[in-house]
Chain A
């Protein structure tokens, strides 16, 4: 057997192999693209089988064999164009022209007795070269638009198609100039083998090659996805995964549908997934669907947000047998290489499952921590509240029993006024604490602040300061103007009292507390400045939280319920205002309050003091 023969047998083997592989795939998943590929390689296989039969000496009726081979060869260009039309738009004009060219060529071939006159043969060859060249160009153009495996396969198909065209050109040259024929025999055989390998790589690549081509896309997807589980909002994660999937896939869009156990349906961005897209969910394996987008959009209110897609590839997102959802990649046309695309979609869906599952675990852990923190705060609060209530109670019980003993020992003695006053005072103190606890409960029901009336805030402050003068000796008040605002007077007094008491509590014994009142645009502004221990930066946003106390507050030194600032914030916010703190630990704090002030200066403030 000569070298040329060996080459020819080898390329025949490759063509038959590709046909067998493509046929098997079509039986497994008969998509239009798969069927068209099978027809194309079927025509090639037919030519090969008849050639092989000739070589083996199985003489079929000569003219019929030649005609069949010629017809099959002439059909190649058209059949490959059908494959091209499966993934890109081929104008009807081109399609018709190619069909007519094929029919005319076939008719010419059948009615003309062999051998074909050279000029006719040249025209037929030229027709085939043009059509195969066009197919090759279409593959190359699609390769430029694709990525990953699809790109490589399109490139291989383009090269293979061009090589077939070149082989045909050589055949034409052999017909026209027979003396070149032997020299071109080797080249033609080598090119035919190369084209066979090209088609093998393009249309039936081995698994390891497909994996290797997918790897960069999967890697890029993973490097984007790896940080996603840390994002706070699951919606952001889903959106980013959708973008990364679309990019990895080279698709215009991808969507993730998540299973909602309560509603018993798949949701995309809150709205139900159209039933036509959910087939991969019910089958729990990757699925390819041809789409009629209009129908899909009709199935749900509003647009699905994906346009210009005629196919959807979807794969179930599953973690530890728990069905999480569905990843759907949209393709503008039905994919040529559906199997490897579905493989990729399933790979991305698996990675998506890992990320969504991690996010779920992170959320669960955070929830547990938050619950533990809430329980701890509640326990702390209860023991703190109990401590605060017990202190005046101790004074009351001790004082009452002292009075009792005195009375028992000397019934005639005059009443102990100091002791009685203490009893009353401690009872009030106890009552105040109980009211504070009730305030928290009302605050949480939103019913703490009642009717507001226009008040002169400076006057209101002075009245409170007068009532508390024995304890507020170190409190200075500055107001450059009269500030009037609609407030619930007893509640606003409570804000002022809480802030001043707080400042005094955390200040050194001789330090002053400065209260400033002014008007800033449409806001009444109050600030309370102290030279106390301050609030560390990390505690500043949390000082107004229920039960919260600063890290630098030693429980042993400062007993208290940690409710004063919480109540103050609640009251200010129910007045439509804001409260915040600025502080330098060790140097002091300034608590700021801003509430909407009355616009009208004309209206006489109500000078009522509770």
Chain B
């Protein structure tokens, strides 16, 4: 089984729809509603995620704190920042993200970025 994509967002609707969209394309997905839950998945999940789709402003542990904790663990992982803030690009640079999705984004854009970062992307689920 391939490594999942971890989606972290405090908005339950966005979390559910993004997960559903990735699932529709055949990507395995795990979700978390904040950075702390995200770390939990990184630490204890059955498989280490291949990619993180990361919201920045979240309660408990935000995007910056999550990334700091990931680096402290010596883990290296591809990250795409998803945020509605005007500072999206600056924040993405701050945490050395590999991609940025400014909310609201198109599904095609999401898929394009995911497939760019996961070269071993599965073929379309339908085939």
Stretch at the interface among B16-24, B44-52, B68-76, B114-122: B16-24
In the complex, the answer to whether A409 meets B126 with C-beta atoms within 8 Å is yes
**Bound: A422/B20 CA distance, A:** 12
Provide the residues of chain B in CB contact with A555, threshold 8 Å.
57
Chain B contributes a number of interface residues (CB within 8 A of A) equal to 27
Given A556-B56, A556-B57, A559-B57, A395–B24 Cβ distance below 8 Å?
no
**Bound: A405/B17 CA distance, A:** 13
- Give the dominant DSSP class at B's interface: loop
In the complex, the answer to whether A386 meets B17 with C-beta atoms within 8 Å is no
Query: Which residue from B11, B13, B106 sits with its C-beta under 8 Å from A401?
Result: B106
Instruction: Tell whether B30 is near chain A: CB-to-CB under 8 Å.
Output: no
In the complex, the answer to whether B104 meets A390 with C-beta atoms within 8 Å is yes
Instruction: Tell whether A397 is near chain B: CB-to-CB under 8 Å.
Output: yes
Query: Which residue from A383, A386, A558 sits with its C-beta under 8 Å from B59?
Result: A558
0/1 interface trace, chain B 46-86, chain A, CB 8 Å (1 if under): 00000000001111101110000000000000000000111
**Bound: A405/B110 CA distance, A:** 14
- Shortest C-beta distance, B107 to chain A (Å), equals 4
In the complex, the answer to whether A398 meets B59 with C-beta atoms within 8 Å is no
In the complex, the answer to whether B104 meets A393 with C-beta atoms within 8 Å is yes
Given A390-B84, A405-B24, A556-B62, A398–B14 Cβ distance below 8 Å?
yes
In the complex, the answer to whether A383 meets B62 with C-beta atoms within 8 Å is no
Instruction: Tell whether A419 is near chain B: CB-to-CB under 8 Å.
Output: yes
0/1 interface trace, chain B 86-116, chain A, CB 8 Å (1 if under): 1000000000000000011111001000000
Query: Which residue from B14, B64, B103 sits with its C-beta under 8 Å from A556?
Result: B64
Q: Which of A390, A391, A394, A558 has the most CB of B within 10 A?
A: A394
Query: Which residue from B16, B62, B110 sits with its C-beta under 8 Å from A422?
Result: B16
In the complex, the answer to whether B59 meets A399 with C-beta atoms within 8 Å is no
Provide the residues of chain A in CB contact with B16, threshold 8 Å.
422
**Bound: A390/B104 CA distance, A:** 6
Instruction: Tell whether A392 is near chain B: CB-to-CB under 8 Å.
Output: yes
Given A409-B126, A558-B59, A390–B103 Cβ distance below 8 Å?
yes
**Bound: A452/B84 CA distance, A:** 39
Provide the residues of chain A in CB contact with B84, threshold 8 Å.
386-387, 390-391, 394
Provide the residues of chain B in CB contact with A426, threshold 8 Å.
13
Query: Which residue from B21, B64, B86 sits with its C-beta under 8 Å from A398?
Result: B21
- Which residues 377-425 of A sit at the B interface, judged by CB distance below 8 A? 383, 386-387, 390-399, 401-402, 405-406, 409, 419, 422, 425
In the complex, the answer to whether A402 meets B20 with C-beta atoms within 8 Å is yes
Given A387-B85, A390-B103, A557–B17 Cβ distance below 8 Å?
no
Give 16 CB contacts A-B under 8 Å: A383-B86, A391-B11, A393-B103, A393-B104, A394-B103, A395-B17, A397-B105, A398-B14, A398-B107, A398-B110, A401-B106, A401-B107, A556-B58, A556-B62, A556-B64, A558-B59
> Which 6 pairs of residues, A with B, have the shortest CB-CB distance?
A390-B84, A395-B13, A401-B107, A394-B104, A394-B103, A398-B17
Binding site for B on A (CB under 8 A): 383, 386-387, 390-399, 401-402, 405-406, 409, 419, 422, 425-426, 555-559
Binding site for A on B (CB under 8 A): 11, 13-14, 16-18, 20-21, 24, 56-60, 62-64, 84-86, 103-107, 110, 126
